[in-house]
Amino acid sequence: MSIPAFGLGTFRLKGQTVIDSVRNALDVGYRAIDTAQIYENEAEVGQAIAESGVARDELFITTKIWIANFHHDALLDSLRESLRKLRTDHVELTLIHWPSPKDAVPMAEYLGALAEAKSQGLTRQIGISNFTIAQTRQAIEILGAGAIATNQIEVHPYLQNRALIAFLKGQGIHVTAYMSLAYGEVLKDPVIQAIAERHQATPAQVALAWALQQGFAVIPSSTKRDNLAGNLLAADLRLSNEDMAQIATLDRGHRLANPEAIAPAWD
C-alpha cells in the first residue's frame, strides 16, 4: 500500500474548525487525512469522515502514538482508543510521533508494540516521525527498513533536511513532509513569489510542488475551502530545473517544530 502524495494535515485544528476542514477537504477531493493523539481532534476527524458520505475504503487515515503511550500495553490500548474516536476498525498508517525522550521507553518496546498492532490488523502500515539518522538506523535494526512505511519530518524551502532525506532514500523509506509552508513564512518569500508569478500559480502551490517533485508526500492544512482546493492543484504544477535550483538556495536550517523537552539531537 503506497502512501498518497497529497493529504490533509490537522495539526492545531480543533472542534468545529477541524470538522469543517476535513469536510471541505473531502468534498474537494482529498482522500488522505493525517491526525495524531496529541492533536486531541481524532473524535472530530472521525465525525467529519462519518458524515462525509465518502466510503471508508477510499480513505487513507494516519494517526500517531504520543510519547505517554509508548509502553507496550499502553500503546496498543491507546491505538484502540484512537480507532474508537475515528469510528473505524483500522487506520492505514500509524506512526511513532517522536522518539522516546532520553530513551525513557526502549525503542524496541514501542516499535515492537507498533509491529504487533499491525499484525493484529489495527493498522495497515507503520512508521516513524521526527527520527534522526541515528534513530532511524536503530529502528531499521529493530523492524527492518521494509517495515517502515515513512519517516514524517519537517521539510520546507527554509529547512531542506538534506542529510536525513538522502539517508531515508538510500534505505527506501518514504519521506512525508510536514509544515511544508513553514506556517506561511515561505509564502512571503520573494523567490517563491516570483516563481509563482511565472507559473500563474500561488506561492503555496509552488512550495508544495517543490516537495512533490522530490517524491515527498505532503500534508498541508487549511481552514479555508478555496485554499484547500488550490493546494490540491500543486500536483499539476511542474517546476523547471531552474525553479528547483532557486528554491534550493533558500535553505537556512529554519526549524519550527523543535519542542525542547522532546526534540532529539537533530542531524
3-state secondary structure at position 128: strand
Q: What is the DSSP letter of 3?
A: P
Does residue 240 fall inside a structural domain?
Answer: yes
Query: CB-based burial of residue 225 (10 Å sphere; 0-12 exposed, 13-18 middle, 19+ buried)?
Result: middle
Residue 160 lies in domain: 8-248
Does residue 263 fall inside a structural domain?
Answer: no
Structural domain total, the chain: 1
3-state secondary structure at position 32: strand
Does residue 266 fall inside a structural domain?
Answer: no
Q: What is the DSSP letter of 88?
A: S
CATH number assigned to the domain comprising residue 161:
3.20.20.100
- Residue 16: count of CB within 10 angstroms of its CB: 10
Q: Which residues contact 190 (CB under 8 A, 6 or more apart)?
A: none
Output the CA–CA distances (angstroms, integers) from residue 19 to 46, 204, 234, in the order listed: 9, 23, 23
Q: Which helix (H) or strand (E) holds 175?
A: strand 174-178
Task: State which amino acid sits at residue 9.
Answer: G
Output the CA–CA distances (angstroms, integers) from residue 126 to 115, 122, 151, 201, in the order listed: 7, 10, 10, 35
> From the CA atom positions of the chain, what is the Rg in Å?
18
Task: Kindly state the cell numbers that stand for 134.
Answer: 541515528
Active site residues: 39
Does residue 2 fall inside a structural domain?
Answer: no
Does residue 258 fall inside a structural domain?
Answer: no
pLDDT tens-digit profile, the chain (267 residues): 799 999 999 999 999 999 999 999 999 999 999 999 999 999 999 999 999 999 999 999 999 999 999 999 999 999 999 999 999 999 999 999 999 999 999 999 999 999 999 999 999 999 999 999 999 999 999 999 999 999 999 999 999 999 999 999 999 999 999 999 999 999 999 999 999 999 999 999 999 999 999 999 999 999 999 999 999 999 999 999 999 999 999 999 999 999 999 999 999
Does residue 185 fall inside a structural domain?
Answer: yes
Does residue 242 fall inside a structural domain?
Answer: yes
Does residue 208 fall inside a structural domain?
Answer: yes
Task: Kindly state the cell numbers that stand for 251.
Answer: 535553505
